[in-house]
Amino acid sequence: MEPLVVRTADFRLAWRLLREIHNRKLPCIQLHPDDPLPYEDSVWLGTVAEVESFSDGRGVWAIEGEIELAIERALHVNRRLGPIIVLTFGVDPGPRPGLAWLADGVLIGVAQLERVDDVANHIRAIATAIEHDRIEVKIGDGSITLRNRIANVCIARKMHIEFVDERRTSHGISRHHHHAAATKIAMMQGKRVVERQSVSPADGELRELQRRSRRMSEGKLTISSDLAKAVAVGRITMEEAIDRQYSL
């Protein structure tokens, strides 16, 4: 893949673009708007006015607040992807969900989100940036309550939802590598879901979270049912719940 080119006189925009590109570990070149492009058909990012003013290369406009979407558009152009039939999203649910997206089975992006409630909006934003015929959203079932919260929002937005047996994705993957699990989830066959799901943690789910807390703390403690419920609905992570239990 040819390097993306950040080519703008807007210092603030350039800084935000470069930070996101570097975070994704993508090849990149920074140029002044008057500098020649490294290749005749280089994909470059700039302001709306700059893209409209220059006819060389393949310009992609970017604005603050939509940096990730601009980069997704640029990557789509850079990979010379034609219209995509199926845009598939894999979601590894958790307090900080992992997300991966595939174009007709080919991985084109991953992300680690900060909140459960960000998932549906992030999916919609990426889908808006990439031309496609239909969307599939596959959600791992490792955290039932968080899975159901994400599914309900996506169902309300008329997305195709499938639940995937997450136990088949965990082999060889660190529990912290949520985007890697999300990629495996996206590639697997799931079970179609069309009805709204319950978001109340079941007793069995809370007991399982308490069992995990004992394992993670090497048998030193078991988190309370209240803390287990907070983990189940995504208010805190398991690590935070263990720390709070220690302080009680």
Q: Tell me: the pLDDT tens digits for 218-227?
A: 999 999 999 9
Do the beta carbons of residue 139 and residue 146 sit within 8 Å?
Answer: no
Q: Is residue 30 part of a domain?
A: yes
Share the mean pLDDT of the chain. Answer: 88
Distance of CA 118 to the CA centre of its chain: 9
Report yes or no on whether pTM surpasses 0.85: no
Residue that has been written with the tokens 């239909």 in this structure? 134
Do 71 and 154 share a domain, yes or no?
no
Q: What is the pLDDT of residue 223?
A: 96
**Which pairs count as long-range contacts for 217-222, CB under 8 Å and 24+ apart, including other chains?**
217/242, 221/245, 221/246
Q: What is the pLDDT of residue 172?
A: 44
Q: Is residue 34 part of a domain?
A: yes
Q: CATH number of the domain that 70 lies in?
A: 3.40.50
- Terminal-residue alpha carbon distance, the chain: 53
Give 22's pLDDT tier (boundaries 50, 70, 90): very high
Tokens of 204: 């069995």
Kindly report the backbone phi and psi dihedral angles of residue 47, in degrees, each rounded to the nearest multiple of 5, phi listed first. Answer: -75, 170
Which residues are within 8 A (CB) of 50 and not within 5 positions of it... i.e. 6 or more apart?
A: 7, 8, 9, 33, 59, 61
Range of the domain at 183: 84-193
Q: Tell me: the pLDDT tens digits for 113-124?
A: 888 888 999 898
Q: Distance (Å, rounded) from C-alpha 168 to C-alpha 171? A: 7
Asked whether the predicted pLDDT for residue 163 surpasses 60, the reply is: yes
Do the beta carbons of residue 145 and residue 201 sit within 8 Å?
Answer: yes
Do 188 and 243 share a domain, yes or no?
no
Domain boundary among 26, 52, 78: 78
Domain boundary among 25, 51, 78: 78
- Which helix (H) or strand (E) is 165 found in, with range? none
Q: What is the pLDDT of residue 42?
A: 92
Asked whether the predicted pLDDT for residue 125 surpasses 60, the reply is: yes
Do 152 and 242 share a domain, yes or no?
no
Do 89 and 178 share a domain, yes or no?
yes
- Higher-pLDDT residue of 47 and 142 is 47
Do the beta carbons of residue 178 and residue 94 sit within 8 Å?
Answer: yes
Do 151 and 94 share a domain, yes or no?
yes
Do 185 and 119 share a domain, yes or no?
yes
Asked whether the predicted pLDDT for residue 168 surpasses 80, the reply is: no
Strand, helix or coil for residue 61: strand
Q: Distance (Å, rounded) from C-alpha 198 to C-alpha 200? A: 6
Q: What is the pLDDT of residue 72?
A: 82
Do 32 and 51 share a domain, yes or no?
yes
Q: What is the pLDDT of residue 123?
A: 92
By mean pLDDT, which of 6-10, 124-128, 146-150, 189-193 is the weakest?
124-128
Look up residue 93 and give its amino acid.
P
Do 93 and 189 share a domain, yes or no?
yes
Do 189 and 226 share a domain, yes or no?
no
Q: Is residue 198 part of a domain?
A: no
Domain boundary among 78, 93, 118: 78
Give 82's pLDDT tier (boundaries 50, 70, 90): low
Tokens of 233: 């609905």
The one-character DSSP state at 55 is -
Q: Tell me: the pLDDT tens digits for 170-205?
A: 544 444 456 788 999 999 999 999 999 988 888 888
Residue whose C-alpha is closest to residue 99's, from 17, 154, 21: 154
The total number of structural domains in the chain stands at: 3
